[in-house]
């Protein structure tokens, strides 16, 4: 029992780190588009990830049976297609709207689980969802007065991300995480090839391009998705979807720290800082199991309780 709890906590920490890393390095994806087209970047990102995983695990005894290939290919499609759709949609909508719609995954995952398994989330989820969606609204300053085709495409991409989270939870229980990761990255590379012919194949190689492909491809795709496959064995799909909220939170930090080729960093607005705070509150509510207003009051009183306890201890000393 204790080992199961420990495994679950470790898995949550792994997923939290992955989502934080993805958010922090998002700005690199914007920077690299100065040197190549979006479709070329997606292709090279998965190609670098595939090569890295093959070199990393080539000595291990691997059995790519039909089930592994099928599961990995499905995950590969559910991974690369939403990325391509989001990149294409960004040509039609604001980045803030994209962030807002992408986080709809926290709605789609429980909804899909209810349709598939008739499994409803607890009251804790609904309370956290209201706070998180409010935080996203403040964070993005969304202008939703007119829904465009780009908005619809991004929402569909978010739905596919939800399917990917559920599929990962199911497939990871039956397949080796590194075998699944290799097939996932290789199939993602192959699926992204047709998109190359829709745009110019021009690419400007330099040190920054190679570095970004290592950061977002080798680490951010190959290692991250393989670790995600491993961690989701012990974590529910709903919890995994909730952890995606860390991505925009750390995205603000990355945008503020990491500069582009001209040495310019993105500015962070007050609404984004406020949104980040509300998002953090929403995640605390979810992971502390809060179900009603009374329990929220108890959490707010926790700092006061800790301070009083420390005072008593100091007096005894």
Domain membership of residue 316 (yes or no) is no
Domain membership of residue 114 (yes or no) is yes
Domain membership of residue 86 (yes or no) is yes
pTM for the model:
0.84
- Distance, in Å, from the CA atom of 77 to the CA atom of 74, rounded to the nearest integer, reads 5
Selection from 230, 179, 146 nearest residue 53 by Cα: 179
What is the span of the domain harbouring residue 24? 1-306
Domain membership of residue 315 (yes or no) is no
DSSP reduced 3-state for 59: coil
pLDDT at 154: 87
Domain membership of residue 90 (yes or no) is yes
8 A C-beta contact, residue 222 and residue 52:
yes
DSSP reduced 3-state for 67: helix
Q: What is the pLDDT of residues 261-279, one digit of tens each?
A: 777 777 778 888 888 899 9
The full length of the chain comes to: 317
DSSP reduced 3-state for 245: helix
Over 70: is that where the pLDDT of 294 sits?
no
Over 60: is that where the pLDDT of 164 sits?
yes
150 band by pLDDT with thresholds 50, 70 and 90:
confident
Domain membership of residue 186 (yes or no) is yes
Domain membership of residue 96 (yes or no) is yes
pLDDT at 251: 83
Domain membership of residue 108 (yes or no) is yes
Would you state the structure tokens that stand for residue 44, as one six-digit string?
Answer: 């090279």
- Distance, in Å, from the CA atom of 219 to the CA atom of 30, rounded to the nearest integer, reads 17
Q: Concatenated DSSP letters for 134-145?
A: HHHHHHHT---S
Lowest-confidence region among 44-48, 96-100, 168-172, 223-227: 96-100
Q: Concatenated DSSP letters for 37-57?
A: -HHHHHHHHHHHHHHHHHHHH
Q: Give the number of domains in the chain.
A: 1
Lowest-confidence region among 43-47, 135-139, 168-172, 302-306: 302-306
For 74, the enclosing helix (H) or strand (E) is helix 66-89
């Amino acid at each position: 029992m204790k080992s199961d709890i420990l495994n679950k906590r470790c898995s949550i920490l792994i997923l939290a780190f992955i989502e934080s890393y993805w958010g922090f390095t998002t700005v690199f994806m914007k920077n690299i588009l100065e040197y190549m087209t979006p479709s070329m970047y997606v292709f090279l990102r998965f190609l670098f990830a595939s090569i890295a995983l093959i070199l990393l695990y080539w000595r291990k005894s691997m059995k790519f049976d039909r089930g592994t290939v099928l599961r990995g290919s499905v995950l590969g499609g559910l991974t690369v297609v939403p990325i391509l759709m989001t990149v294409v949609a960004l040509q039609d909508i604001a980045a803030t709207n994209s962030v807002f719609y992408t986080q709809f995954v926290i709605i789609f995952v429980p909804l899909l689980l209810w349709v598939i398994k008739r499994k409803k989330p607890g009251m804790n989820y609904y309370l956290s969802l209201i706070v998180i969606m409010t935080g996203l609204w403040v964070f993005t300053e969304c202008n939703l007065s007119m829904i465009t085709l780009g908005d619809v495409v991004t929402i569909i991409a978010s739905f596919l991300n939800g399917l990917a989270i559920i599929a990962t939870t199911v497939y990871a229980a039956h397949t080796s995480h590194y075998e699944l990761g290799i097939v996932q990255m290789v199939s993602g590379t192959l699926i992204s090839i047709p998109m190359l012919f829709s745009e110019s194949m021009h690419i400007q190689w330099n040190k920054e391009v190679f570095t970004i492909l290592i950061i977002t491809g080798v680490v951010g795709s190959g290692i991250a998705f393989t670790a995600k496959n491993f961690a989701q064995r012990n974590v529910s799909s709903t919890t995994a979807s909730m952890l995606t909220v860390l991505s925009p939170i750390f995205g603000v930090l990355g945008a503020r720290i990491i500069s582009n080729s001209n040495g310019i960093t993105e500015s962070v607005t007050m609404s984004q800082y406020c949104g980040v705070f509300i998002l953090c509150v929403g995640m605390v509510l979810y992971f502390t199991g809060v179900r009603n207003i009374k329990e929220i009051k108890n959490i707010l009183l926790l700092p006061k309780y800790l301070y009083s306890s420390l005072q008593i201890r100091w007096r005894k000393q």
